[in-house]
Structures are given as C-alpha cells and as structure tokens.
C-alpha cells in the first residue's frame, strides 16, 4: 500500500442553517478544501461523499453528485457513503483505500448533513427496528452504558458532567463550533433529564454543517508546500453483536484501535491530540478506555485530573467535540479530521495543542443489538 | 406460524380488530385461559444457539431452516435499565423505563420495557417476569400490544 496524505481541509460553521441545502453546505466545505490544498477541481479523480439522513429528512438521495457538482467536479467516479455516525470517516477510509491501492492520486472527501429538528423532538431514525418499535431511544442506549459503567467502576454523574464542561469550554475557542457557551458541572447536572443519568447538556445537539478533505498520494503531496499531513492508519470495523456482551466497553473499538496502532507502528502514549465520538458524555469516558489512553474503569479519573483538557497530557476533543461543535451526522467524522489536520499544522488558533505531531480521530455509529455497526480509527502525523 | 401470531402486522392493522401487535411472531396473543405469557425464540438444532426474536437462519453457524421454536421462560434478571424522561417518537409517554433482561434458562438477553413499579426502582440484578400488554396507542388509535417485564416482588412504592 502507498503512503496517503491530506493536503486540504475545509468546513462550514456547524449549527442551524435552515435556509441552506445539503449541496450548498457541502459545496462551501469542498471549495474551502480545494483552495486550502491549492488544487483545481479538474485534478480530482474521484469523490466520496458522506450523508446519513438526507434520504429520510430531506428526501434527497445520491447527495454526493449534487455536492461535488457545486464546485465543478463532474464526470469522475462519485461514491455516496452511509455508515451512521461513522459515515464521513467511512468516506475517508474509502478514499484512503483508493489512493493507497494506487488507483487514484488525488480524490476528495465530503460529509454534509442537516439534522436540526423542531425543539423537543427526537430524531426518529431506525423506526423499523424492533427495539425502536418497542420504545428504545438513542440517548437511552447510552444511558444504559452509563448505568453499567457507574455500577461496575463507580463512575460518577459529576465525572460525566465534566466531559460536557470541558468540551463546551473548548468549543468557545473554536469559531466553527455550534455552541459558544460554557457550562458549570452544576448546570450540566441541573439541565433537563433525558435518560437517566444523561441530562440535556450530556447529549450532543442536532446540527447542520459540512466538512471536506483533499486526499492524495505522496507525489501530489510534495507540491502542497508543507501543508500535507500523512495518514498513518485508516481502520474501519463493525461490531460483533454478541447477545450478552459487556456494555462497559466496545470490543469493536479496542479491535479497531489495536489495528490502527499496529498499522501506524505506535501506541496510545505517542498521541499528542485526539478527537473522539462524544455523542454523549459517557461515550468519551468509554473511548478513553477503548483507545488505551487509560485502563478500563479509569476514564472518570482522567477527566477528574484534567489529563484530557487543553493543557493536559493528552487533550481530547480540543474542537469542542460533538457536544459543543455539534453533530451533523454524516459530516462529524470528516470535521474531526479537519480539526486534527489544523492541530498538526499548528493552525488551531486559541485551542492549539502545543507541539502536536501525532493525532488520532475515532468515531462510531449505529446501534445494532446494543453493539455498534461501524467504528473507524484514523491516525495522522506531520 | 399460528393464526393469532400473524393477524396484526403493522400499525395499519385490520379494521375489525381494536389492537395491533408491535411485531408479529414475538409472542402469542391473546393467550389461552390460564396460560402464562412467554416470548417465542428459536434454537439452532445444529449449534444450539438461541435467538430472540425467532429467526430462520442461524447467525452463529449459518445453518438454514434448522431452527426449532423455543418458549422463553417468563422469568428473567435485569441487566441494565434507564428511565427516559422524554416521550418516545413511537408514542410512549414519559417517564418510562427500558433496558435489557437476561433470561438465564436459555442464555438470552432481551430488550425490554419495564412496568409494575416506579420506573426509577428497576435495578440490575432484580428478578422480573414477563407481561403482555398495551405499550402505546397507534396513530389509528388502536392499542399496540407489546411485552414488558415487571418486578417479581413489587417493592414498596415511595
């Protein structure tokens, strides 16, 4: 397999964009990525576009062709990708495969989504699944995980709340984040209960937005004048759906991370900055453990000691994460990579992690039998 | 599959019935006089893996059309539970509790709604038993029949 690089990144501000379309948001992100890389649309040999909910929420299918056409990319192969919350990162994985294999030298990745719902409504996704017909709701699934983690390891509600406090603090340093507001632990705990123990500010918001990447081979990357960030590992894995699995960890995440560390020839101790899938506060705690940033059960201690805060030993979600940056489902996995690239280039402004050389992005999505349908882990370096 | 397991398949239902099943094939309803409620699972006759809901292919060994019907005993043990404080999109009114119940007799974990006590009182390790009852009202104003678990010994309510 050949070395693969990212030479251009771009994203829209995440938040509420009621008057903008999926293609308009996606087009803005693609244009920014093309300009960042200094690449013309005609140089792009293929496009991979992530969008998870367009067919359900906007009645729009094959969104990728619409998005890429906005910026003058046509006639080349376009692939539409859907993998729940891991949609955008799966699009990157497919792009990586296509360049690493030698098929293409320069491709584009986009993720675009509009998920903002009327106030107080749940996203009614997966309505055909038995659990959903019976009454399952997504925050409830993660509440169950939190309950088991609290039961087994003594993780506290305050520790969960601190994840939200940290990420919202980081979000105020990111002009692309949906929330520009800090919360105290007490405010997180006192916000309306959604599914015990998860309160409103323990759950990521629904968001609109898009992000894009230019992915290329080494011979193209050398022309990028120091902007190139190398993809050391790209791993996509699915769950085992074991009926009586332990809810306090995801086997799929440990497996994907282990494979990624092997591929990159490094370990969790070598990471300088990490973006994880904090759809809910408890998720980030589990990802600390799943990625090997600490031992099982120590996730709560990590947040207590400020180890994952900006300025800590291993900052996690400096962007604000899904909790503060927002969660346009199909775009989140791409936006995480945009953040890591900015961090590794030293372009992250007030939230810059000093001397960041190696970064990791993890995201997972979809619930099946209480397990995860898709999990990706990417590792990058300067 | 018996008549009564398949009559009502969707929320549209049939005009002459006043209820619909949340999904056909999960349980018998209505039950015979004196019959205890049970869930319909399937056991692979090749590798003995048990599945709920029942299925025709074994996902463990890949065997096809060798599944035997198994009635899951009504008793189980709570693995995890949470109380949801927002109405579900399907129409269940908050607060309500859901989670997972282990049925040790068959080594199966079942997604379940809880009933029969304050939702916040459901705890891991608690013994529960199956009930078949309405879980919500459909868009056509019919009762949707599903299954729930309730504590075997009801705790003193607050």
pLDDT at B51: 94
Sort strands A106-114 and B75-84 into parallel, antiparallel or unpaired. unpaired
Check A134 against B109: CB less than 8 A apart.
Answer: no
Residues A213, A201: one domain?
A: no
SS3 label, residue A121: coil
Considering the domain boundaries, does residue A123 fall inside one? Answer: no
Average pLDDT over residues A153-166: 98
Whether B98 and A132 lie within 8 Å, measured CB to CB: no
Same domain, A265 and A164: yes
- Asked if residue A87 has pLDDT above 50, the reply is yes
- What is the DSSP code (8-state) at residue A56? I
pLDDT at A120: 63
Distance (Å, whole) CA A337 – CA A350: 18
- Is residue A246 assigned to a domain? yes
Examine the domain organization and report whether A166 and A34 are in the same domain. no
In a domain, residue A124? The reply is: no
What domains sit in chain B, N to C, each tagged with a CATH number? 8-23+74-151 (2.40.50)
Tell me, yes or no, whether A167 and A301 share the same domain. Answer: yes
Tallying the residues shown for chain A, one arrives at: 382
Pick among B85, B102, B106, B119 to test the A interface (most A CBs inside 10 A): B85
Q: How far apart are CA B22 and CA B50, in angstroms?
A: 22
Q: How confident is the model at residue A341 (pLDDT cuts 50, 70, 90)?
A: very high
| Domain membership flag for residue A269 | yes
Alpha-carbon gap, residue A143 to A137, rounded angstroms: 10
Which pLDDT does position A366 carry in this prediction? 85
Which residue has better confidence, A315 or A243? A315
| Shared-domain flag, residues A248 and A299 | yes
Residues A256 and A148 in one domain: yes
Whole-number Å distance between alpha carbons of B63 and B122 = 38
The answer to whether residue B83 neighbours chain A at the CB level (below 8 Å) is yes
For A18, A188, A200, A257, B128, the CA distances from A151, given in Å and listed in that order, are 42, 21, 22, 26, 19
- Residue B90: pLDDT band (50, 70, 90) is confident
N-term to C-term CA, chain A: 19
Cβ-nearest to A244 among B26, B53, B102: B102
pLDDT tens digits along A267-307: 999 999 999 999 999 999 999 999 999 999 999 999 999 99
pLDDT at B9 over 90: no
Chain mean pLDDT for chain A: 96
**Chain B residues in contact with A144 (beta carbon < 8 A):** 80-82, 99-100
pLDDT of residue A370: 78
DSSP state of A58: I
- Given an 8 Å threshold on Cβ–Cβ distance, is A135 in contact with B81? no
Q: Is the pLDDT of residue B1 over 70?
A: no
A244–B81 CB contact, under 8 Å: no
Least confident among A347-356, A357-366, A368-377: A368-377
DSSP A294-309: S-TT-HHHHHHTTTTS
Residue A154 shares a structural domain with residue A34: no
- Could you check whether the bond before residue A249 is cis, i.e. omega within 30 degrees of 0? no
Taking alpha carbons only, the member of B110, B104, B108 closest to residue B80 is B110
Tell the burial category of B3 from Cβ atoms under 10 Å away from its Cβ (0-12, 13-18, 19+). exposed
pLDDT band at A117 (very low <50, low <70, confident <90, very high): confident
Clarify whether residues A252 and A349 are in a common domain.
Answer: yes
First-to-last CA distance in chain B? 44
Mean pLDDT, residues A227-236? 97
Note whether residue A245 is domain-resident: yes
Q: What residues of A are labeled active site? A: 85, 327
Looking at the structure, tell me whether residues A88 and A59 fall in a common domain: yes
In a domain, A122, yes or no: no
Reported as a single tens digit per residue, the pLDDT across B16-75 is 578 999 999 999 999 999 999 999 999 999 999 999 999 999 999 999 989 999 999 999
Say which residues have a Cβ less than 8 Å from residue A311's Cβ, sequence separation at least 6. none
- pLDDT score of B8: 43
Chain B hits for A148, CB-CB cut-off 8 Å, are 80, 124
Structural domain includes residue A268 = yes
Lowest mean pLDDT among A21-30, A113-122, A236-245, B52-61: A113-122
Whether residues A226 and A301 fall in one domain: no
Q: Could you report the per-residue pLDDT of A91-101, keeping only the tens digit for each?
A: 999 999 999 99
E strands, chain B, where? Answer: 19-21, 39-44, 50-51, 67-72, 75-84, 96-103, 108-114, 127-137, 143-151
pLDDT of residue A122: 62
Same domain, A143 and A279: yes
Are B124 and A147 a contacting pair at CB < 8 A? yes
Q: Which CATH number do you get for residue A251?
A: 3.40.47.10
A360: domain range?
130-206+233-381
pLDDT at B13 over 60: no
Confidence band of B6 (pLDDT split at 50, 70, 90):
very low
Residue B53 and residue B72: Cα distance in Å, rounded?
10
Of A34-48, A116-130, A220-234, B18-32, the one with minimum mean pLDDT is A116-130
- Our count of domains for chain A comes to 2
What's the rounded Cα separation, in Å, for the pair A71 and A67? 7
Q: Among A105, A110, A336, A91, which Cα is nearest to A222's?
A: A105
pLDDT for res B158? 45
φ/ψ of residue A100, rounded to 5: -60, -35
ipTM above 0.95, yes or no: no
Distance CA B3, CA B25 (A): 10
pLDDT tens-place string over residues B105-151: 899 999 999 999 999 999 999 999 999 999 999 888 999 999 999 99
What order of strands is seen across the sheet that includes strand A46-50? A78-81, A46-50, A106-114, A208-217, A4-11, A229-237, A371-381, A358-368, A273-275
Instruction: Give per-residue pLDDT as tens, B119-132.
Output: 999 999 999 999 99
Residue with tokens 């890949």: B62
Question: Cβ contacts of residue A274 below 8 Å, gap of 6+?
Answer: A291, A293, A308, A314, A315, A316, A317, A359, A360, A361, A362
Q: Are residues A51 and A160 in the same domain?
A: no
Structure tokens at A230: 């190398």
Domain assignment present for A367 = yes
Nearest to A52 by CA among A281, A283, A210: A210
Angstrom distance (rounded) from CA A288 to CA A162: 14
pLDDT at A121: 64
Non-local CB neighbours of A82 within 8 Å, separated by 6+ positions: A50, A51, A52, A330
Name the residue in chain A with its Cα closest to that of B91: A135
Among the three residues A197, A231, A265, which one is the final residue of a domain in this structure? A231
């Amino acid at each position: 397999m050949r070395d693969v690089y990212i030479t251009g990144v771009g994203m829209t501000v995440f938040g509420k964009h009621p008057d903008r379309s999926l293609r308009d948001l996606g087009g803005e992100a693609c244009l920014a990525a093309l300009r960042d890389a200094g690449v013309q649309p005609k140089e792009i040999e293929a496009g991979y576009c992530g969008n998870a909910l367009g067919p359900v929420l906007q009645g729009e299918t094959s969104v990728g062709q619409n998005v890429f056409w906005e910026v003058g990319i046509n006639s080349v192969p376009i692939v539409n990708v859907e993998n729940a919350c891991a949609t955008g990162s799966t699009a990157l994985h497919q792009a990586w495969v296509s360049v690493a294999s030698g098929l293409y030298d320069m491709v584009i990745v986009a993720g675009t989504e509009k998920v903002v719902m009327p106030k107080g409504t749940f996203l009614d996704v997966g309505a055909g699944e038995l659990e959903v017909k019976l009454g399952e709701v997504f925050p409830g699934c993660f509440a169950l995980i939190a309950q088991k983690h609290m039961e087994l390891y003594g993780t506290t509600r305050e520790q969960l709340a601190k994840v939200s406090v940290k990420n919202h603090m980081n979000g105020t340093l990111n002009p692309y984040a949906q929330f520009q507001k800090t919360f105290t632990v007490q405010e997180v705990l006192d916000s309306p209960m959604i599914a015990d123990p998860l309160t409103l500010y323990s759950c990521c918001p629904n968001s609109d937005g898009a992000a894009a990447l230019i992915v290329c081979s080494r011979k193209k990357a050398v022309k990028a004048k120091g902007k190139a960030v190398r993809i050391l590992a790209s791993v996509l894995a699915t769950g085992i759906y074991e009926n009586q699995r332990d809810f306090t960890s995801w086997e799929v995440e440990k497996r994907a991370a282990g494979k990624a560390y092997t591929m990159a020839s490094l370990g969790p101790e070598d990471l300088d900055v990490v973006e994880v899938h904090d759809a809910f506060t408890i998720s980030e705690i589990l990802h600390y453990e799943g990625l090997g940033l600490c031992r099982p059960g120590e996730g709560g201690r990590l947040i207590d000691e400020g180890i994952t805060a900006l300025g800590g030993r291993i900052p996690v979600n400096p962007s604000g994460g899904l909790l503060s940056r927002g969660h346009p489902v199909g775009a989140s996995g791409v936006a995480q990579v945009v953040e890591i690239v900015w961090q590794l280039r030293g372009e992250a402004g007030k939230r810059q992690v000093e001397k960041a050389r190696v970064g990791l992005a993890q995201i997972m999505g979809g619930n099946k039998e209480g397990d995860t349908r898709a999990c990706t882990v990417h590792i990058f370096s300067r | 599959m018996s008549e009564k397991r398949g009559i009502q398949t969707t929320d549209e239902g049939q005009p002459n019935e006043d209820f619909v099943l949340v999904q056909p094939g999960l349980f018998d309803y209505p039950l015979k006089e004196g019959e205890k409620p049970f869930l319909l699972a399937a056991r692979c006759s090749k590798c003995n893996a048990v599945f709920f809901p029942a299925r025709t292919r074994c996902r463990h060994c890949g065997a096809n059309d060798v599944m035997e019907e198994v009635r899951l005993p009504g008793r189980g043990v709570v693995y995890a539970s949470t109380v949801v404080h927002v109405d579900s999109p399907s129409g269940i009114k908050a607060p309500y509790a859901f989670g997972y119940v282990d049925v040790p007799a068959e080594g199966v974990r079942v997604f379940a709604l809880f009933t029969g006590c304050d939702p916040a009182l459901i705890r891991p390790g608690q013994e529960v038993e199956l009930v078949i009852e309405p879980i919500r009202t459909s868009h056509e104003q019919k009762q949707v029949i599903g299954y729930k678990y309730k504590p075997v010994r009801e705790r003193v309510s607050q």
